[in-house]
Structure formats: structure tokens, C-alpha cells
Amino acid sequence: MRVALFSLLLAFASAATIEQRAAPVNQLVGYATQNGGTTGGAGGPTTTVTSLAALRAAVLSGTAKIVQISGIISGDGETIDIGNHTTVVGIGANSGITGSGFRVKKGTNVILRNLQLSKSPAPTDLIELQTSTNIWVDFTSDLTHDKDFYDGMLARIDHGTDFVTVSWNVFQQHFKCSLVGGSDNTGDEDSGHLRVTYHHNHFLNINSRTPSLRFGTAHIYSNFFDTVTDSGVDSRDGAQTLIEANQFTNVENPIETTLNGGFAVQRNNVFTNSTLGTVATGTISSVPYSYTIDAAATVSGIVVASAGAGKVTGL
């Protein structure tokens, strides 16, 4: 009887969770759906790797391929370059890399999913995107380390990179988190590019850059900003941001537009112990793709329960 009752309660709890979350998982949404879409290695062969040498070799070619990582691979502090038309995916809840980071440089059509990432020593970032298009970073988690160890978890989305979606990730315990546009002097290269969507991410115990955006366009919706000590979303150098249905809890300067003339449209956000200052109103009020918002009041529960490595199904 107790087993039956427990099963019934579990079923009700699961149904309530599903009902609460309106946005789909396991589905690409955002700017990475544009420009022909992002399919990664779909249709190519699947390889499973367990060593750094095998990983480097498996991801490098420019033909369609799916590379599965089994377990945590120890890196050597150097960047792992990923070729075009590649999906890199972790198996289960505890697969990924420590001690190195991934880079897509002058590439296209890459997916990174379900990965534990940690301890990539500066100047190597955990994920770096340069002069690339159609990238999807989904259901990754990073692990804690000293604030000066990395430059950032998802840093240096720059040099004209475009059509990127960052979704259902956990970014935690970082001094600097995510930088879009690497310099105040790259406007000629970056203007008209750097279109990035951030949705359903958990920014936990971060100092700043959640993200910091120069020149580009960002759509930031249904994220949970949870204890950010310096600044949250930083729009600068003419960047345009649409910030909606996010939950900001214990965030200093949740939306910042005062540095070098950035802009934001903010709507339907919830601020808890987070004081919103003056925001320079931008011009972006819509995006060229369909998406489903989870209301800001529900975002913390949804994101904590569903974001990060090991939470996605069907891999």
C-alpha cells in the first residue's frame, strides 16, 4: 500500500513539474535556428572516446560526426579545436573534460551538449567561439575553482561569431562568466554579428558577465540569476539586448547599460533583493524565431530542476 501511495504521489509531482514548465527541452530554440539551422554531426558516424588523444582526433575533421565522451577526460591545459559539422555529447551525468577547453574557430554547425567542464587554466577558456556560425551549447555544467583560474566559462564569443544558442546550462562559482565581443575596438568586425540567445540557464554565485555584450544582439529569457555580486547583464558599445521573463535574486546591477552606450528592452522580469537602475531603452522588441517563455516567477524552480549536465534525456 505504501509503495502504491508513493508511486501515486510521485506521478502527481512529475505531472505538476511538467505542467509548470512550458518551454520544451531537447529542442533547439533561438538564434542557432537561423542561417540554415544547427544540426551538428547529425547523419554522420558516432565515435565514443575516453582519452584526450582520441578526443582531439575525433573532433577535428570537417565532416559530419557525433563524438560521445564517456567519463571525465583529463586535459593538458591546451585548447581542443572542433571541426565543422560536429556534435560533442557526454554520456550520462558525469562525462566531459577537466583541465582543457573547447574552441570553435572559423567553424560552423557545432553542438556541445551534456558535458561536465572544469579547470581550464587561463588563457584557455572552457568554451571559446571565434569567427564561427551556428553553435548550440546545451545542458552543460561547470565545476567550482578559484576566481583567477579561468578567464571565463563561456568566454570570447567574438571575431564576428554569429547565430549562437546557449541553453539549459549551469554556470557556477565564476569571477567572469560569459563575454560576447572581446574588445571595445572590434566594432567593424563584430557589428551586425554576435547574435546570441541565452535561455533557461542558471547563473549561480558569479561576480560578473552574465553575459557582457559588445556590439551584438542578445535575447535573454527565462534564466535564473542567483547571487551575482558585481553586475548581471552588461550591454555596452551599442549592443542591443531583449531581456524578458528572467528571475534576478541577490544580483547587484542586474541590467547595466551605462558603459559605452549599450541598450536593453527589459520586460516581465522579477527582481528579488536586486535593484534595477536606469536602463537605456533599446530598439529590439522581437526576434526572428518562435520561442516559449516560462514566467519569471516560476523560472528558479524550473531551471534548478532541469538545467545542467545529466538532466537531458534521450542522449
Reported as a pLDDT band with limits 50, 70 and 90, residue 3 is very low
Of 12-21, 178-187, 241-250, 255-264, the one with minimum mean pLDDT is 12-21
Taking residues 48-66, what's their average pLDDT? 98
pLDDT given for residue 23 in this prediction? 83
Reported as a pLDDT band with limits 50, 70 and 90, residue 75 is very high
Preceding amide of 211 cis, omega within 30:
yes
pLDDT given for residue 17 in this prediction? 43
pLDDT given for residue 14 in this prediction? 38
pLDDT of residue 150 exceeding 70, the answer is no
Domains, the chain, with CATH or none = 31-306 (2.160.20.10)
Assign 3-class secondary structure to the chain.
CHHHHHHHHHHHHHHHHHHHCCCCCCCCCCHHHCCCCCCCCCCCCEEEECCHHHHHHHHCCCCCEEEEECCEEECCCCEEECCCCEEEEECCCCCEEECCEEEEECCEEEEEECCEEECCCCCCCCEEEECCEEEEEECCEECCCCCCCCCCCEEEEECCCEEEEEECCEEEEEEECEEECCCCCCHHHHCCCCEEEEECCEEEEEEECCCEEECCEEEEECCEEEEECCCCEEEECCCEEEEECCEEEEECCCEECCCCCCEEEEECCEEECCCCCCCCECCCCCCCCCCCCCCHHHHHHHHHHHCCCCCCCCC
pLDDT of residue 30 exceeding 70, the answer is yes
Taking residues 131-153, what's their average pLDDT? 76
pLDDT of residue 153 exceeding 50, the answer is yes
How much is the pTM?
Answer: 0.91
pLDDT of residue 142 exceeding 80, the answer is no
Residues known to be catalytic: 209
- Per-residue pLDDT of 243-295, as tens digits, reads 999 999 999 999 999 888 999 999 999 999 999 999 999 999 999 999 999 99
pLDDT given for residue 306 in this prediction? 95
